[in-house]
């Protein structure tokens, strides 16, 4: 009887964990990502080399991932929450496919000289990943993803000269705006 009760409790605990939301998204980390994206935009605006422009944004993407993981770990630790939980796994597995698709499309677009499409493709796929992953997080996260999708869609049809301003507005401005909202409403 006791073994069956323990199995039932284990099942209930696992079910509740799987249904939980991931609350360790760091608003202040998102703000820092927005600030570094604005710095990357300033660097990118000063170069006339397409390869350097791409390199700057690839470095920014890597830096953003590092900032995100580090600040989420800090927030999870401060809240005494596990960083690697069922909701965190769901977020990762929802976010990763659009990012992998973005990496593949980046290679193809660069190979075909369609670099002007990169800002729109990057923001659109990032937004899709954030919307998908945000279904397992606080409500404002998928809204942020929709905003990235909107800016990315407009960027796809914008002149090539607007690439860096769109990157600054999207990866800089949207991260600053939504990061501040997340920090204020969801504890940092």
Quote the pLDDT of residue 133: 86
Say if 115 falls within a structural domain. yes
User: Is 56 within a domain?
Assistant: yes
For residue 135, is pLDDT > 70? yes
Q: Does position 120 have pLDDT exceeding 60, yes or no? A: yes
Give the C-alpha separation, 51 to 78, whole Å.
Answer: 40
What is the number of domains present in the chain?
A: 1
Q: 140 near 158, Cβ under 8 Å?
A: no
Residue 124: which of 144, 149, 105, 141 has the closest Cα? 149
Residue with tokens 């409403």: 185
135 inside domain: yes
Q: Average pLDDT in the 22-28 region?
A: 73
According to the model, what pLDDT value does residue 19 have? 44
Average pLDDT over residues 120-126: 96
Tell me which range, 113-117, 129-133, 134-138, is most confidently predicted by mean pLDDT. 113-117
- Residue 22 is classified by DSSP as B
Establish if 63 belongs to a structural domain: yes
> How would residue 75 be classed by pLDDT, with cut points 50, 70 and 90?
confident
Secondary structure of 92-131 in HEC code, one letter for each residue: HHHHHHHHHHHHHHHHHHHHCCCHHHHHHHHHHHHHHHHH
How much is the average pLDDT of 94-98? 90
Residue 16: predicted pLDDT:
45
The pLDDT value given to residue 150: 97
Whether 78 is in a domain gets the answer: yes
Model pLDDT, residue 18: 46
User: In terms of residue numbers, what domain contains 93?
Assistant: 26-185
Question: Where does the chain have alpha helices with state H?
Answer: 2-19, 27-45, 50-78, 86-111, 118-134, 140-156, 163-167, 175-185
Residue 8 lies inside a defined structural domain of this protein: no
Mean pLDDT, the chain, rounded, equals: 86
pLDDT tens-digit series, residues 46-72:
999 999 999 999 999 999 999 988 988
Mean pLDDT of the region 88-95: 82
Distance between CA 37 and CA 29 in Å, rounded? 12
Category of 39 on φ-ψ map: left (φ > 0), alpha (ψ -120 to 50) or beta = alpha
In a domain, 17, yes or no: no
Q: Is residue 4 part of a domain?
A: no
């Amino acid at each position: 009887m006791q073994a069956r009760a323990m199995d039932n409790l284990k099942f209930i605990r696992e079910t509740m964990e799987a249904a939980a939301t991931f609350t360790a998204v760091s608003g202040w980390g998102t703000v820092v990502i927005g600030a570094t994206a604005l710095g990357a935009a300033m660097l990118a605006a000063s170069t006339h080399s397409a390869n350097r422009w791409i390199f700057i944004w690839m470095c920014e993407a890597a830096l953003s991932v590092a900032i995100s993981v580090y600040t989420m770990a800090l927030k999870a630790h401060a809240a005494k929450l596990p960083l690697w939980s069922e909701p965190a796994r769901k977020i990762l597995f929802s976010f990763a496919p659009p990012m992998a698709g973005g990496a593949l499309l980046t290679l193809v677009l660069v190979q075909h000289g369609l670099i002007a499409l990169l800002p729109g493709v990057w923001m659109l796929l990032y937004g899709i990943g954030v919307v998908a992953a945000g279904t397992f997080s606080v409500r404002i996260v998928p809204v942020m993803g929709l905003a990235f999708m909107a800016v990315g869609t407009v960027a796809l049809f914008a002149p090539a000269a607007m690439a860096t301003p769109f990157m600054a507005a999207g990866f800089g401005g949207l991260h600053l705006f939504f990061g501040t909202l997340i920090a204020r409403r969801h504890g940092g």
